[in-house]
């Protein structure tokens, strides 16, 4: 029931609302001790985005 409500709220949210939520979450990175964890995935995520970008431009 909670998941359904969250999904509905997410679908109804504007891009500005979603961006504000993301900004708030990213502002809490240090408070929650996530900075190291987020940084650990940087190389993997960059490689994935590069693969997707190349596939799109050459596909």
Q: What is residue 53's predicted lDDT score, i.e. its pLDDT?
A: 92
CB-based contacts of 10, cutoff 8 Å, min separation 6: 18
The string of pLDDT tens digits covering residues 2-49 is 999 988 988 999 999 999 999 998 899 899 888 888 888 888 899 999
Q: What is residue 10's predicted lDDT score, i.e. its pLDDT?
A: 87
Query: How many other CB atoms are found less than 10 A from the CB of residue 38?
Result: 11
Q: What is residue 40's predicted lDDT score, i.e. its pLDDT?
A: 84
pTM > 0.85: yes or no: no
Q: What is residue 14's predicted lDDT score, i.e. its pLDDT?
A: 93
């Amino acid at each position: 029931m909670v998941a359904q409500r969250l999904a509905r709220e997410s679908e109804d949210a504007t891009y500005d609302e979603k961006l504000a939520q993301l900004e708030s979450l990213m502002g809490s990175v240090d408070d929650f001790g996530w900075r190291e964890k987020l940084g650990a995935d940087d190389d993997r995520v960059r490689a994935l985005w590069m693969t997707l970008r190349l596939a799109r431009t050459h596909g």
